[in-house]
Amino acid sequence: MAHSDLLTVPFAGAPIFTRSRALRPTGKVLPEHARSHNRALVLQTLYSSGARSRADVSRETGLTRVTISDLVADLIAEGLVVELGQREAARPGKPATLIDVARDAFQIIGLDLSEHEVFRGAVTALDGTIAERIELARGGATGEAAALLVEQLVDRLLALATIPVLGIGVGSPGVVDPLGVVRSAPNLGWVDLPLQARLAARTELPVHVANDANVAILAEHGETAPGELLLIKVGHGVGAGLIVGGRPVIGGGFAAGEIGHVVVGTDGGPRCACGKDGCLEAWVAEPRLTAQLAAVGASRGSSVGAGDGDTDAAAAAARDEILREAGRRLGIVLAPVVGALNLTEVVLSGPADLLDGAFHEATVDTLRQRTMAELNRDLRLRMSEQAEDIVLRGAAVMVLSGQLGVS
């Protein structure tokens, strides 16, 4: 590699791929890493900008032609980059050969283990487009039974893959360390489950495991790509993914974003599965909200004169208030986070029938009431548009980024 290329490698703290807004690596860029960074830079450029000539890539990355030719030769040998033929010549002379990421050469397996009723999985293209999907009913399985179900899901997805699989990405509930050990996932009864190692040994493929909200935010990051982004994921539990300064925040104990068991306020509240009263999860988690709404529906159905206008209106108001109260509680928990980090964008991911309405309004109102006007002028709280596929798509980004340095 030409020495001058080392100088073009951005150093820690500087955005590596500002143009395409990729996630920034979390470590320092040392000279011995320059080659892999350059390689990622080439892949990133092709991935986000499409087919190009080697000369284009050289221009856009600032790397020398020689370095690009070198890297591209290796990438072609590995099957990650393909030559697409020659560009129509605009000028006399030899037309340039176009190269691109081998978009059709690999698929990715994504798993979402965060839901109450089902384990979800998909075979996706490199860009996260879902080719095949499978849902396995969890049937309340926990511990080893749940782990076996995950293996079964992976086996079935691998059987559906039509081309080589680049890797497997898993979004798991709970606290997951960087080695893919699920340190603790109470809802699944997992303690120190080496999920990454176990699936890697079984499949002989690269496997990446992370907390489901941290995976979900990777799918959103590709869409909006601000330097700061907070994603709140409401499902079986409540979790958050956080990107600050373009970097995912994992936390010293790998539990960043675990806001579900933060107690909201000092006025008590519903008893939580963890034993405390008034945890965010006890107010906001999907099973809790659904049960509360069902209780209102049931009392209406059994009351005398059910179906008349007044009772219907009263039940609707009661349901609205349940959602509004939950939204307020979320706003109370988020306000200091939004204030401290000066966040301008918060994304809500979860069932739209519960979140996109009174709940959302109450969260926004509460955030505005509780943060400085100068801070919240530009604050946006929006629903994720990725619906139930958010973790599956994020898992694809995680694998791509982990294996190729591309996102």
Decide: 115 and 187 in contact? Cβ < 8 Å: no
Pick between residue 35 and residue 261 the one whose CB is nearest to Zn ion: 261
Write phi, then psi, for 277 (nearest 5 degrees).
-105, 130
Pick between residue 133 and residue 276 the one whose CB is nearest to Zn ion: 276
Pick between residue 73 and residue 274 the one whose CB is nearest to Zn ion: 274
Return the DSSP state at 33.
Answer: G
Place of tokens 């680049």: 166
| Smallest distance, Zn ion to C-beta of residue 289, A | 15
Pick between residue 276 and residue 368 the one whose CB is nearest to Zn ion: 276
Q: Which two tokens stand for residue 86?
A: 């020659």
Q: How many residues does the chain have?
A: 407
| Smallest distance, Zn ion to C-beta of residue 279, A | 3
| Smallest distance, Zn ion to C-beta of residue 274, A | 3
| Smallest distance, Zn ion to C-beta of residue 263, A | 8
Pick between residue 59 and residue 261 the one whose CB is nearest to Zn ion: 261
E strand or H helix at 311: helix 309-341
Instruction: Please give the residue ranges that form the binding site for Zn ion (CB under 5 A).
Output: 261, 272, 274, 276, 279
Q: Which two tokens stand for residue 270?
A: 């519903």
Return the DSSP state at 271.
Answer: B
Pick between residue 103 and residue 276 the one whose CB is nearest to Zn ion: 276
Going by DSSP bridges, is the β-strand pair 118-125/165-172 parallel, antiparallel, or unpaired? unpaired
Distance CA 161, CA 107 (A): 7
CA 388 to each of CA 5, 41, 153, 219, 253: distance values in angstroms, whole numbers, following the listed order = 43, 31, 17, 12, 28
Q: Which two tokens stand for residue 112?
A: 């979402």
Distance CA 381, CA 36 (A): 37
| Smallest distance, Zn ion to C-beta of residue 278, A | 8
| Smallest distance, Zn ion to C-beta of residue 286, A | 15
